[in-house]
Chain A
Amino acid sequence: NAGVMQNPRHLVRRRGQEARLRCSPMKGHSHVYWYRQLPEEGLKFMVYLQKENIIDESGMPKERFSAEFPKEGPSILRIQQVVRGDSAAYFCASSPDRSGRNTEAFFGQGTRLTVV
């Protein structure tokens, strides 16, 4: 059973370009979470999705950032018109279909975005 798969592992974008980060959850998981980790900081929650629905986007910046988890295919975190401050590691996590408060999340290895 493959773990949470994120790609690419490393992504370099010039200022103003778009970044697309992909996450395939573990088999049998329908809950996906995106977190951002800035250097020397902890993980900050961005968004929580279930298939075709955004459940909680309270951590998403109001502009340029969007996320989706379509019925088929991976979850996508999209950052438009990237700026240097977007440089960070972005982690995806998933949890099983019958998740409750006591259910842990399983993390991917992250995508390290560098904006030059």
Chain B
Amino acid sequence: AQSVTQLGSHVSVSEGALVLLRCNYSSSVPPYLFWYVQYPNQGLQLLLKYTSAATLVKGINGFEAEFKKSETSFHLTKPSAHMSDAAEYFCAVSSLQKLVFGTGTRLLVSP
């Protein structure tokens, strides 16, 4: 069965600093991977997805993620954090036509 692990339940950065949110996957088949963002009291919004077309995937709001098979990783990055990026971020893998989510990482951005 496919699964993902998100390291760090909370990540704190200063405004303008690099954002790095970690996700490692486990999959017996080539994985399809997703990053979603959840703002307080909202549903989940897709940031980006990896579907094997390119290892570096660009998403919305300046986020990108790189698929590294050798490291079984799909970390999410953004060069410069904004206050508006404060939210919870979920990594997910497609498994048997459903998404399996990690436990999430809450991103805190300080002025």
Task: Evaluate contact between B42 and A105: CB separation under 8 angstroms.
Answer: no
From B49, B52, B90, B102, give the contact of A104 (CB < 8 A).
B49
Q: Answer whether A41 and B103 are a contact pair too, CB < 8 Å, given A56-B96, A91-B43, A109-B43.
A: yes
Task: Evaluate contact between B44 and A42: CB separation under 8 angstroms.
Answer: no
Task: Evaluate contact between B97 and A102: CB separation under 8 angstroms.
Answer: no
From B42, B51, B96, give the contact of A102 (CB < 8 A).
B51
Chain A 54-68 interface mask (CB, 8 Å, partner B; 1/0): 011000000000000
With a CB–CB cut-off of 8 A, which chain A residues contact B44? Answer: 43, 91, 93, 107
Q: Does B46 sit at the interface, judged by CB under 8 A?
A: yes
Chain A 83-109 interface mask (CB, 8 Å, partner B; 1/0): 000000001010000010110111111
Given contacts A45-B101, A91-B43, A110-B43, 13 further A-B contacts (CB under 8 A): A33-B98, A35-B101, A42-B102, A43-B101, A45-B100, A56-B96, A93-B99, A101-B32, A102-B32, A102-B51, A102-B52, A107-B36, A112-B41
For this complex, 6 residue pairs linking A to B, each with C-beta atoms less than 8 Å apart, are: A33-B99, A42-B101, A42-B104, A45-B100, A102-B32, A107-B44
